[in-house]
Amino acid sequence: MGVNTPGRIHREQTEHVTIVGDLLGGTSVMRTCAEKYLPRQKFETADDYKTRLNGATLYPAYKETIGSMRGRVFADRPLRHDIPEWIKNEVFPDVDRNGQTIDIFLPKLFDNALAYGHVGVLVDSPEFDSTPTLAVAKEKKLHPYYVMVNKNQILDARAEDGTLVHLRLAFEDEVRDDADEFLTTTKRTVRVYDKVLANGVPNVQVRLYVEKKTPTDGQVEYDLVSTRLMAVPEITFMCFSTGFERTFVSKPPLIDLAYLNAKHWSLQSSYDTMCMIAMIPILTLIGADASTNLLIGSKSAVKISNPDGDLKYTEHTGAAMRTGREALDKLKEEMRESGAKLLLPQLTSANKTATQASEEAQRENSPLATMVVDFATSFRELLRLTCMWRKEALPEGARIELRPNLKPDFAPTDTAQVLINAADRNLISFQTVFDELQRRSIIQNTLTWEEEKSRIAKDPSGYLIRSLEVKEKVQDARNEEGQDSNPLPQSQNQ
């Protein structure tokens, strides 16, 4: 078996990885897949199929759902607690040594894991003799950095007693051609990590293999170009999973949505083709003979000698198109429901005490909420591996606190109207309405209530500010009189 040969954990997840990657690639990638997702009909010519394929467009339900869920998880900037200063100053501003900050890296990491089922992060670091000063570390980027590893890049992995002892990763690297300074080629490299004992001390050995084509038959081989020891006692690799099944094996939590999206791609193409054909009426000539001269135009007439002859347009009734549209609408609704399941509470046992029921009511227990908790736990492991490069222990309270929006509000504009009506009846304050509209992304998150009140005060008509002032005066008057601010009708007070 060659070093580039995928192991079992890679092979058994190929189908899910492929369909997810194709859908995330968008319309252009789906078109290149051709008959894989868009079957060619039995009597369809090659030219007709090519025309239909080039006109097909993907409804990006899977990609948009992933983005929506990621936006909910990172609705507000995560809070950081007890993070070592050198990590905040050196690592977080440049987590990949290419200028990417931690605030950009984390949403991408969650996005990848939600789409594919799990994602890995390799914590690597440049070698240096002694711990550098902050200025030197920033100048030469002598700090640990993170490499995001996609699911399909993990060729094989093996753990013993809960510890990772073997890892094989594949990368695509840009290599400059020695003969042409302006030419770069993509070469596949494979890194093999093994936990070993060096002079009785736990260490990690790294072997680097580079792709090479043999000059005789063009077959791809891999040459071992370097072997080195990493100055850490374990393989610094962290895996975050959203659909865990077993170690390094996962099922994308939205895989059913992916299959529905691929089905919609095929059905939409068939519907578009049917509409294109049905929209053009067919001119039907009845009772024509050899003497009939057919001219079609605004200043032309057709003479039919047969008394039973007729000339008319034959048009589609539209029943089939209506059925197709209904099928597409139903499929869209199924996709919407499939994506929304991440926000719905998970079913638990009906046999529970009042205390257990109260505790469950106070905490989020939807699948997405569980992922948020797991993500925070995985990030703490990432911090631990980062500290390992400086031979430091991670502080007990070091963590991040995500502030997600996990409320299953599927119609934010409808609930927004309910909030406004409640404010009009003095049931809630206008600031509460403002905060809730911000949470629903109807108002920009950068605005503050004080800024918005200032804008309202500048309203030319003065209606909005007068409305606020009148409400405040009425409320003050009621408070002075000791009246209930929200009196019930007399029939309800009895």
Tell me how far apart the alpha carbons of residues 343 and 332 are, in angstroms, rounded to a whole number. 18
Q: Per-residue pLDDT tens for 101-150? A: 999 999 999 999 999 999 999 999 987 666 666 676 666 777 899 999 99
pLDDT score at 430: 87
pLDDT over threshold 90, residue 378: yes
**For range 310-318, the mean pLDDT:** 79
* pLDDT category of residue 358 using cuts at 50, 70 and 90: very low
* CA trace torsion 149, 153, 155, 158 (10° rounding): 10
CA 403 centroid distance within chain? 18
pLDDT: which is higher, 295 or 107: 107
**233-237, 301-305, 459-463: least confident range:** 459-463
Q: What is the pLDDT of residues 186-227, one digit of tens each?
A: 889 999 999 998 888 889 999 999 988 766 666 788 999 999
pLDDT at 491: 44
- pLDDT tens digits for 218-248? 678 899 999 999 989 999 999 999 999 988 9
Residue written as token pair 């809730």: 436
Using alpha carbons, select from 320, 334, 330 the residue that is nearest to residue 270.
320
User: How far, in Å, are 473, 474, 475, 480, 488 from residue 483 at the CA level?
Assistant: 14, 11, 9, 8, 11
30-63 pLDDT per residue, tens: 999 999 999 998 888 999 999 999 999 999 999 9
- Say what percent of the chain tops pLDDT 70: 84
pLDDT at position 252 is 96
Per-residue confidence at 351, pLDDT binned at 50, 70, 90?
A: low
pLDDT at 494: 39
> SS3 sequence, the chain?
CCCCCCCHHHHCCHHHHHHHHHHHHCHHHHHHHHHHCCCCCCCCCHHHHHHHHHHCCCCCHHHHHHHHHHHHHCCEEEEEECCCHHHHHHHHHHCCCCCCCHHHHHHHHHHHHHHHCEEEEEEECCCCCCCCCHHHHHHHCCCCEEEEECHHHEEEEEEECCEEEEEEEEEEEEEECCCCCCCEEEEEEEEEEEEEEECCEEEEEEEEEEEEECCCCCCEEEEEEEEEEECCCCCCEEEEECCEEECCEECCCCHHHHHHHHHHHHHHHHHHHHHHHHCCCEEEEECCCCCCCCCCCCCCCCCCCCCCCEEEEECCCCHHHHHHHHHHHHHHHHHHHHHHHHHCCCCCCCCCCHHHHHHHHHCCCCHHHHHHHHHHHHHHHHHHHHHHCCCCCCCCCCEEEEECCCCCCCCHHHHHHHHHHHHHCCCCCHHHHHHHHHHCCCCCCCCCHHHHHHHHHCCCCCHHHHHHHHHHHHHHHHHHHCCCCCCCCHHHHC
- The model's pLDDT over 249-277, given as tens digits with 9 standing for 90+, comes to 999 999 999 999 999 999 999 888 888 87
* pLDDT for residue 177 is more than 50: yes
Q: Return the pLDDT at 11.
A: 94
| Token pair of 348 as six digits | 């638990």
pLDDT over 80 (residue 387): yes
Q: What does the mean pLDDT of the chain come to?
A: 84
pLDDT at residue 106 in the model: 96
Q: Which of 137-141, 369-373, 399-403 has the lowest mean pLDDT?
A: 137-141
Query: Is residue 6 predicted with pLDDT exceeding 90?
Result: yes
Average pLDDT over residues 275-301: 76
Percent of the chain with pLDDT over 90: 49
Partners of 202 in the β-ladder: 197
- At 63-106, the pLDDT tens digits run 999 999 999 999 889 999 999 999 999 999 999 989 899 999 99
Q: What is the pLDDT of residues 150-161, one digit of tens each?
A: 999 999 999 998
Residue-level pLDDT at 474: 64
